[in-house]
């Protein structure tokens, strides 16, 4: 069973998937830093605040002794929009990578058709003609 698992784990497709997963996770962190450090501040200029901190407060909270707001209920739509932008960027780049890979792949040529022999009726007709010549 251990040998069978090793054979399965070392197949090319599984290793490719693992490498793609690790690279995708690393790329996601790059996109997140780009969105948080470049895109969010630029969009935040429109709202005169940090875009990630935009929220709709449903219920105000109370500041405790340390100055931390407790009991606030809010919809964090700025954070959600930032994550949607991250997703769109990652999805678009992955689409472009797959499109590029598909262009570089050799297009498989269709297998040449094997010429079919004569049909059964043709063979019977030929046998009949040969017999009738005798």
Tokens of 119: 């049909």
The secondary structure of residue 65, as a DSSP letter, is T
pLDDT at 12: 60
Residue 57: what are its φ and ψ, rounded to 5°? Answer: -85, 120
pLDDT tens for the chain, 134 residues long, are 788 777 766 666 666 777 778 888 888 888 888 888 888 888 778 778 777 778 888 888 888 888 887 888 889 888 888 888 888 888 888 888 888 877 887 776 777 777 777 788 888 898 888 888 76
pLDDT at 35: 83
Residue 70: what are its φ and ψ, rounded to 5°? Answer: -120, 140
CA–CA distance from 84 to each of 24, 87, 133 (Å)?
A: 16, 5, 83
Q: How many angstroms separate the CA atoms of 79 and 87, rounded?
A: 12
pLDDT at 62: 84
Q: How many angstroms separate the CA atoms of 79 and 40, rounded?
A: 10
pLDDT at 3: 81
pLDDT at 8: 67
């Amino acid at each position: 069973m251990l040998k069978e698992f090793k054979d399965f784990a070392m197949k090319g497709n599984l290793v490719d998937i693992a490498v793609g997963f690790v690279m995708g996770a690393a790329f996601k962190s790059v996109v997140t830093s780009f969105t948080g450090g470049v895109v969010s501040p630029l969009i935040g200029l429109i709202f005169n605040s940090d875009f990630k901190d935009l929220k709709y407060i449903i219920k105000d909270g109370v500041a405790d002794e340390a100055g931390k707001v407790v009991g606030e209920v809010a919809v964090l739509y700025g954070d959600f929009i930032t994550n949607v932008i991250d997703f769109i960027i990652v999805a678009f780049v992955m689409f472009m990578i797959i499109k590029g890979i598909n262009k570089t792949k050799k297009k498989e040529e269709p297998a040449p058709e094997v010429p079919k022999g004569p049909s059964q009726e043709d063979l019977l007709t030929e046998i009949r003609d040969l017999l009738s010549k005798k």
